[in-house]
């Protein structure tokens, strides 16, 4: 619920897997892995750059990645 504003409600018949990570964590992955993720071309798979409230200081906004897969 803390980051619920990032994703719309899902109907009961849908399944959604979501991962939210700081941009710095995402960039720490090997380039080859990031390239593979970013090259997935399916409408049900998305990688979005988002701004979120900092876990350490909710007044600050930090860059993050939201990765979702829905069926």
Arithmetic mean of pLDDT over the chain: 86
What pLDDT score does 39 carry?
A: 96
Structure tokens at 55: 């876990």
Structure tokens at 42: 């399916």
Q: Encode pLDDT of 40-63 as tens digits.
A: 999 889 999 999 988 888 899 999
**Long-range contacts from 37-41, C-beta under 8 angstroms, 24+ separation:** 37/67
pLDDT higher than threshold 70 for residue 6: no
pLDDT higher than threshold 60 for residue 2: no
Q: What is the pTM of this model?
A: 0.78
pLDDT higher than threshold 70 for residue 36: yes
């Amino acid at each position: 619920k803390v980051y619920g504003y990032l994703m719309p409600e899902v109907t009961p018949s849908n399944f959604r897997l979501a991962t939210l990570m700081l941009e710095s964590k995402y960039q720490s992955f090997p380039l080859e892995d990031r390239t593979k993720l970013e090259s997935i071309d399916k409408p049900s798979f998305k990688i979005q750059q988002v701004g979120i409230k900092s876990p350490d200081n909710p007044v600050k906004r930090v860059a993050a990645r939201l990765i979702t897969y829905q069926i």
